[in-house]
Structure 1
Amino acid sequence: MAGQDLVGQRIKTVRRQRGLSQAQLAHPELSDSYVSLIESGKRTPTPAVLELLAEKLDCSLTYLINGVTAEQMQEIELGLGYARLAMENGEVSEARTRYAELLADSGLAGLPQHRQDAEYGLALAAEACGDLDDAITLLNGLRQNDPVTMSPERHIAVVVALSRCYREQGDLVQAVNVVEQILGGAVRPAWTDGLIRLASQLVAAYFERGDLLRARQFSAEVLAAAEVLGTPQALTLAHWGAAIVAVESGRGDEGVTHVERALAIQSEHGDPRRLARLRSDYLEVMLAVRPMQAATWRDQLVKAEKELSESSANPMAKLRCVMNLARAELLLANPQQAGEHIRSVCDMLDGMPKLLQMEAHLLHGQTSAEQHDRQQALRELDTVAEALDQLTGTRYTAHVWLTTAQVLERIDEPDRSVDAYKKALACVGL
């Protein structure tokens, strides 16, 4: 039902509640035929007419326009504020509950922008809670149902989140497609911070599906665009994407240069929550590029973990930091300390994305193997293999199968190890 139809219905309802005829409501400023047209949805009243009718009907202008009283509007806006605050503070389950409660309130029916804010917030909260299916459903609903009322900035933010969720879910085809619908045309829109963020998602999706050449080419294009744009957010995102592509292409020193540049920009201009997460991600890169300095990265990860715990970082960022602490201890040949971190990881897994859970089980298997707990290692690797068998073969799954094969070899499971090596090769078409 159109907005003007709803306004007309509310005017008609209140008029009847007041015991007024259309002529009585109209006199002397308006004609009764004009009031009739408004009530039937055939005319859209001007703001001045709406204000006049609200005064004559002794009701709030807010109610006639949105279907809620001024008090209800205040409660809705307060509820949205509390939900956003919970999300910013890392209380993602609380945020999800608050957004869901707002959407269950019929008062949002006449408030398209507020409803859109609540649906978008609920999608981000669902993603942060690890419920990617629900997040994807909500985000697709926003794209399909609000194409007119949605601002260009919100539309880009929705597609950024949607591509990220598809990627976290392992659906790299959709992760690429939703972004290429915007950036893949012959004429690309003028670059903005939002489009740089969207492009960064596309770089990550290209990289994870194994298209390193395309990832490298597009990353260079995004970095050049960010340099021209010159904003801290664009530069941070572009350098970070370039760092990951460089590291995975075997150009570790170049990757370190980019990641340190991203960290420096974020340190100068970024908010503490994003800086804490980026610092943790930086240390994950350094563990991979310079494993011989694992003791240094371990000590810095301890500080990063404390920083994340005191910030409003989401649970996934905190989990990744603890997992990296376990990896650092394994590099330092401290399996007992790694095991302590793994126990913390296990306590945090509930509700996390499936791919992140799979990584955690693989790390648990590696740690158990180093602790000579063969049975626990096998249990963890069985969980990993079961998850991998449900995924499409990509560069990422090839890497996980390869690591699984190495751990199976470590615990003297030669037949299963050979099978895992073969599956790793199959994932890259060999």
Structure 2
Amino acid sequence: MTTSDLVGLRIKTVRRQRGLSQAQLAHPELSDSYVSLIESGKRTPTPAVLELLAQKLDCSLSYLINGVTAEQMEDIELALGYARLALENGEVAEARTRYTELLANNNLTGLTALRQETEFGLAFAAQASGDFDGAIAILLRLSEEELPADRRVEIASNLCRAYRESERLTEAVEVGEQMLSSTTRPAWNDLLVELGAGLLAAYMERGDLLRARQFAAELLNAADALGTPRSIVAANWMASNTASATGHAEEALSFAERAMAVQLETGQPGSIARMRLAHARKRLLARPQEAAAVRDVLRGAIVEFEQTATSTVERARLLVELARAECMTGDLDESVEHADRGRGLVPNTASALRAEAELLLARVYGSVGRMDQAERQLSSVRDSLSPLPDSRRSAATWYATAETMEQLGDSDGAVDAYQRALACAGL
């Protein structure tokens, strides 16, 4: 049924409930033939006519338009507001429950925009809790519907990220490139720059560093032309990641510090928390002598992450990075504790992050002479990495695994891991 059909059917139903004929409803402002055409869906009433009919039928305008009463609409909007608030506050499980309950509300069925917003929120909550497959299924279903241009870009951006975080890099690239090369896409705006940032991340993780370098420059130009905080943060942050991936550590920090400065002034708490973690990781890589200062920043970030809309995967990543800093400063007991906690938070879909945590544990155990535990962790690293597709990230972790095996005296295992690293790098 079309919208006009549904509106006409509601008018007809309420008219009959009130015991009115079409002529009685029409008189004196309208003709009974016009009312008949409206009820049959052959005419779309103007807003003024709809308001007049609602008054004459003694029902709410909201009911005639949407099929729900004003009170029901208010309840739906209130429930949606609570779900959004839970997600913004980092209460991911609560948000997911509230969005799911809303979708079970039959009154939401005819409210297309609100139903789409609810499904999008549920996909975001699923992704934040590490259920990438669930998020992807919802986003793909939404992408088949008629959507506003901005919402379509947001869905593509989240779909690109969900594919990337679940190691499905080819699909992540396809989603981003399809949207950005579309003839119907709008001119560069904040949402498109953020989608481009996600595509750039997929390029790098897949090992397309030349393409990544070129595209990073394109994004920077687009952001500079826009001059908006969101685009500047996204483009500079990804330029930083690209510089880091291509061995330009100090250049990477320079881009990152520009992005961080803008984010601190204009960003949301969750975004600031995530960027603080990523910035700390860059400092560890570029300036290992600052490990103690980075460790203190990351320890302070634990509460910040718990109080903001960060995902389970992001909290796991924070703990693993903190463990790395503690290992570098010699706080080995603390390093083991945080690496183990981080590994425990990693969902099954984030095998690469689990491998990082296990590798870190292997190194710490090896450094204190607990060789049996170190070897068990290295075995777990191999189990986590083996099913992953070839990518730059997998290659780096295999290489680090090989170095650790070599340090522990496992020459044969090290040779195999080096070969796997070369294969992942396409060599």
TM-score where L is the length of structure 2: 0.94
Alignment pair present for 1:68 and 2:68: yes
Deviation, 1:364, is 3.3
CA offsets, 1:87-126, max 9 Å, x none?
Answer: 0000011001101111111111111111111011111000
* 1:184 corresponding residue in structure 2: 181
Q: Percent same amino acid among aligned pairs?
A: 51
Distance 2:12 2:136 in 1: 39
Paired residue type of 1:31: S
Q: Decide whether aligned partners of structure 1 residues 107 and 361 sit closer, same or farther in structure 2, where only a CA change above 3 A counts.
A: farther
* 2:111 corresponding residue in structure 1: 111
Distance 2:265 2:250 in 1: 23
Deviation, 1:129, is 0.5
CA offsets, 1:23-80, max 9 Å, x none?
Answer: 3333333333322322222221111221122122221110111011111100000011
Deviation, 1:350, is 5.1
Q: Do the aligned residues in 2 keep the contact of 1:336 with 1:371 (CA within 8 Å)?
A: no
Distance 1:186 1:246 in 2: 30
Match of 2:296 among 282, 288, 299: 299
* 1:41 corresponding residue in structure 2: 41
Q: Decide whether aligned partners of structure 1 residues 247 and 49 sit closer, same or farther in structure 2, where only a CA change above 3 A counts.
A: same
Distance 1:68 1:372 in 2: 68
Distance 1:186 1:158 in 2: 18
Match of 1:171 among 168, 172, 183: 168
Deviation, 1:347, is 4.3
Distance 2:254 2:176 in 1: 27
Secondary structure of 2:45's aligned partner: coil
Q: Do the aligned residues in 2 keep the contact of 1:405 with 1:420 (CA within 8 Å)?
A: yes
Of 21-30 and 254-263, more deviation after overlay is shown by 21-30
Alignment pair present for 1:276 and 2:244: no
Deviation, 1:177, is 1.1
Match of 2:338 among 329, 341, 349: 341
Matches within 5 A, 1:19-58: 19-58=19-58
Deviation, 1:161, is 0.7
Deviation, 1:402, is 1.6
Q: Do the aligned residues in 1 keep the contact of 2:316 with 2:343 (CA within 8 Å)?
A: no
Distance 2:380 2:177 in 1: 34
Deviation, 1:188, is 7.6
Structure 1 residues not aligned, in runs of 5+:
none
Q: Decide whether aligned partners of structure 1 residues 177 and 13 sit closer, same or farther in structure 2, where only a CA change above 3 A counts.
A: same
* 1:385 corresponding residue in structure 2: 382
Length, aligned pairs only: 427
Distance 2:257 2:306 in 1: 23
CA offsets, 1:138-184, max 9 Å, x none?
Answer: 11111112x3xx22221111111111111101111111111111223
Structure 2 residues not aligned, in runs of 5+:
none
Matches within 5 A, 1:8-407: 8-145=8-145, 147=146, 150-184=147-181, 189-349=186-346, 353-407=350-404
* 1:4 corresponding residue in structure 2: 4
Q: Do the aligned residues in 2 keep the contact of 1:126 with 1:135 (CA within 8 Å)?
A: yes
Paired residue type of 1:206: Y
Distance 2:329 2:80 in 1: 47
* 1:419 corresponding residue in structure 2: 416
TM-score where L is the length of structure 1: 0.93
Q: Do the aligned residues in 2 keep the contact of 1:131 with 1:351 (CA within 8 Å)?
A: no
